[in-house]
Amino acid sequence: MMSRSIYDVLSKVVFPNLGDEVHHSGWNTCSSCHSDPSKKRSHLVLPCLNSDRIYVVNVENERDLRLEMTIEPALLHDYNVSMPHTAHCTAAGDVIISTLGDAQGENKGYFLFGWSDNYKWLHSPLND
């Protein structure tokens, strides 16, 4: 649905934590999943660089955006990753998030893999 004016605010989400720097967002499902009717672009996955936090925002209703889930830094640190950078969906319907550091904040880029259906994180290859 288009706004009547480019200046109309249709909805907004207020994040509850200070210091988050929302970075490269991504969809929960890729356009390449078009052959699977159960897959739809209903959520944005929003990594936050400074806080090691990830937000999942429900965008099904453009007039009622909702913060549906917050993935806290402790979960990322359990996988020995930090500084989530870019969220990307896969053709299989999963979400991959690139990271720029390890749990101690040292420069070590890696990935976190999860299911887009419930955002339960599967693993990070660092722990495999």
20-48 tens-digit pLDDT: 999 899 887 777 666 777 777 888 999 99
Q: What pLDDT, in 10s, does the model give residues 94-104?
A: 889 999 999 99
Give the pLDDT of residue 53. 95
Q: What pTM was estimated for this model as a whole? A: 0.84
Which of 17-21, 48-52, 94-98, 124-128 has the lowest average pLDDT? 124-128
DSSP state of 22: B
